[in-house]
């Protein structure tokens, strides 16, 4: 078996999650928002945000600023961005692998936060392209998202590995014929990849 391309999830793998449950809970508490109202509104708006059909400003308008607030959208956005932290060990490993392999992202994220994260942590230095939900108009674990990523990279599923922390996303990658590694921590990754001939 020859692996020709590696596809990386970003949130929970290379970096902390962007705007997942823990990040939202932290920011909601910090700004004293009503958790249930926020959660309801978030649930309706976030798929469109992540499919790139809604801007972050529009999302914030609906989810947070539908009522007067004692803080600005800029304050809120800065707090969202501050939630993104690097996973240094995994980043170092990815940089090394990037010297020998074609690598891309295949991740769910809204446009603004995705760009912020890519730029801040210089992910473009080792990922050749970003197959992100906001650009593709599709979300993992929809198998169509994986097929589109494969097609854009021009690799066959059996020549590709998906690295993702969510079991459902790993299963979806396998459902289209890709190899997949369930990421738990940086320490386990080299061995899991080596089993696929990726060193
Ligand atoms: Mg993830």
Confidence band of 41 (pLDDT split at 50, 70, 90): very high
Domain that holds residue 148: 5-17+85-194
CA 44 from centroid of its chain's CA atoms? 19
**Does residue 174 share a domain with residue 106?**
yes
Q: How far is the CA of 20 from the centre of ligand 1 (A)?
A: 9
Q: How far is the CA of 180 from the centre of ligand 1 (A)?
A: 13
**Does residue 187 share a domain with residue 160?**
yes
Could you tell me if 183 and 12 are in contact, meaning their C-beta atoms sit under 8 angstroms apart? yes
Asked whether the predicted pLDDT for residue 116 surpasses 80, the reply is: yes
pTM of the shown model: 0.96
Tell me whether residue 59 is in a domain: yes
Asked whether the predicted pLDDT for residue 1 surpasses 90, the reply is: no
**Does residue 76 share a domain with residue 127?**
no
CATH number at residue 61: 1.10.150.240
Tell me whether residue 199 is in a domain: no
Tell me whether residue 90 is in a domain: yes
Q: How far is the CA of 85 from the centre of ligand 1 (A)?
A: 13
Asked whether the predicted pLDDT for residue 115 surpasses 80, the reply is: yes
What's the confidence (pLDDT) of residue 164? 98
Structure confidence by residue, pLDDT tens digits, 133-187: 999 999 999 999 999 999 999 999 999 999 999 999 999 999 999 999 999 999 9
**Does residue 100 share a domain with residue 25?**
no
Structure confidence by residue, pLDDT tens digits, 16-40: 999 999 999 999 999 999 999 999 9
The count of structural domains within the chain is: 2
Q: What angle do CA 25, 44, 9 make, to 5 degrees?
A: 65
Q: How far is the CA of 140 from the centre of ligand 1 (A)?
A: 10
User: Shortest CA distance to 93 belongs to which of 20, 175, 181?
Assistant: 181
- Residue 109 CA to residue 33 CA, distance in Å, equals 23
- Residue 123 CA to residue 7 CA, distance in Å, equals 13
Q: Which residues 6+ apart lie within 8 Å of 193 measured at CB? A: 97, 161, 163, 181, 199
């Amino acid at each position: 078996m020859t692996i020709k391309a590696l596809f990386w999830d970003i949130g929970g793998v290379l970096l902390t999650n962007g705007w997942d449950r823990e990040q939202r809970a932290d920011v909601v508490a910090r700004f004293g928002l009503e958790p249930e109202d926020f959660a309801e509104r978030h649930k309706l708006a976030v798929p469109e945000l992540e499919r790139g059909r809604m801007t972050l400003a529009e999302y914030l308008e609906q989810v947070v600023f539908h009522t007067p607030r004692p803080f600005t959208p800029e304050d809120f956005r800065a707090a969202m961005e501050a939630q993104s932290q690097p996973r240094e060990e995994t980043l170092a490993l990815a940089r090394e692998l990037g010297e020998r392999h074609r690598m891309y992202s295949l991740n769910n994220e809204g446009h603004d936060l995705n760009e912020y994260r890519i730029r801040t942590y210089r992910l473009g230095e080792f990922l050749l392209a970003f197959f992100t939900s906001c650009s593709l108009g599709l979300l993992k674990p929809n198998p169509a998202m994986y097929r589109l990523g494969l097609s854009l990279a021009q690799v066959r599923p059996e020549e590709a590995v998906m690295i993702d922390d969510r079991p459902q996303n790993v299963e979806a990658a396998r459902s289209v014929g890709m190899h997949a590694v369930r990421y738990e921590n940086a320490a386990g990754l080299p061995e899991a990849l080596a089993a696929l001939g990726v060193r």
